[in-house]
Every structure is written in C-alpha cells, then in structure tokens.
C-alpha cells in the first residue's frame, strides 16, 4: 500500500490505516515524516509489515512531467532516494527499487527514512526555502547599494530567482546552462564557481 496523503492526514489517520493492513503487507511512503511523528509520539510501525520509502527529489508535478519527458529523452526522470525501514520477508529492497524504476528515476540512492525526513526539514524547509528568502534579501540590499531605486532593486532580485535561468536549470541542468553560454559567460561562470567551490580545472 502506498500512503501518499499529506503529512497531517498521515498523522491523523495512521492508527486506522495501520489496523487495516494485512500481516505481511508493505507500506510505502514518499517521505519520512510519518517516522518522525511516530517516534515523537512513542509509537512504532507494526512489526509484521514491510515499511519502505521511495522519495522523489521534487514535487508531484515535476515527477510527472519528467516521467512523461522520459518517454522521449532517456534519463529524463527525477532522481529519488529509497529506504528500507522494516524488511520482514527479505523482499523490501526489491519492492523499493521496483517502485523507483516505476517512477522513471534515472538515479536512485539509499538512505533511511529518519535521514530523509531530517534532511527534508533542515535542507528543503530550512536551507532551500529559507535560503531563497535570504538570497532575495541579499540581492535587494546589493542592488540598493549600487544606487538602484527600490522598485527596480526588488524586480531585479525577484527575477534572479524566477527568471529564465531557473527554468533553464530545471530543463537542462546546470551543466546544460553552462554549455549554452558564450565564451565570456563561461568565463564569468568559472570565476564565480571557483570563488565558491573549486579550481577552474574541475569544470
């Protein structure tokens, strides 16, 4: 059984759902929040079921769009992690990998449901969502320091996040964006990359 309802609905309905599962069933989750809820409530999964996770690294519309795109472009699916939380019959890993393949995932890596929900909370909710706000705020202050008017500084800050470059990265990946630049653009990219991450030779 794949339990793909919201986090709040999982927490509210878990006991009723758990009671309806037959012994030997497999419970599939798309992220690990239910594990966190159960642990914080002093509960556990039933010991007579498999519990697996297959966690796409994107939201539902992206998963579907890239799955469909994968019909034409090999490897166009969305990457995902998989986790085996309980394996009562030795088949849980097979079930999880089959589910990942069914999603069209070109890259699947192993994790645990605990690591998955912690990385989601701190990475996606804290860093990604929080960082986007911080980046826009920093850009706004930078543009204002360069003499731009408030409205122009705001628009340029927002465009830096939502403009065509973000769509290009989503469609072609960062390498694809880099390869589409002219010589001057590639040089600027290398300088920015090297100042942050690595020597130019690594690109």
Q: Write out the two tokens for 114.
A: 């605990």
With CA atoms as reference, report the closest residue to 76 among 30, 107, 110, 31.
Answer: 107
Matching residue, tokens 């039933």: 46
> Catalytic one among 31, 37, 85, 172?
31
E strand or H helix at 46: none
Q: How far is CA 132 from CA 18, 60, 109, 161, in A?
A: 38, 21, 26, 8
31 catalytically annotated:
yes
CB 33 within 8 A of CB 102: no
Q: How far is CA 110 from CA 7, 53, 79, 116, in A?
A: 22, 10, 12, 10
Pure H helices in the chain: 7-20, 33-40, 60-69, 92-102, 113-119, 129-145, 150-162, 164-179, 183-196
CB 186 within 8 A of CB 175: no
| Residues catalogued as catalytic | 31
């Amino acid at each position: 059984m794949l339990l793909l309802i919201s986090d709040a609905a999982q927490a509210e309905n878990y006991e009723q759902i758990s009671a309806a599962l037959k012994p030997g069933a497999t419970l599939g989750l798309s992220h690990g929040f239910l594990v966190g809820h159960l642990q914080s409530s002093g509960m556990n999964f039933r010991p007579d079921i498999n519990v697996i996770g297959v966690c796409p690294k994107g939201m539902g519309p992206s998963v579907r769009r890239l799955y469909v795109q994968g019909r034409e472009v090999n490897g166009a699916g969305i990457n995902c992690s998989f986790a085996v939380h309980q394996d009562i019959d030795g088949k849980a890993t097979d079930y999880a990998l089959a589910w990942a393949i069914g999603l069209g995932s070109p890259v699947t890596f192993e994790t645990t449901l605990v690591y998955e929900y912690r990385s989601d909370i701190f990475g996606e909710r804290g860093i990604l969502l929080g960082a986007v706000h911080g980046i826009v705020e920093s850009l706004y202050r930078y543009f204002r320091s360069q003499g731009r008017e408030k409205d122009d500084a705001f628009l340029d800050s927002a465009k830096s996040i939502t403009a065509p470059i973000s769509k290009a990265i989503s469609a072609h990946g960062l390498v694809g964006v880099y390869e589409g630049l002219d010589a001057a653009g590639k040089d600027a990219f290398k300088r920015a990359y090297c100042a942050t991450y690595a020597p130019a030779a690594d690109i």
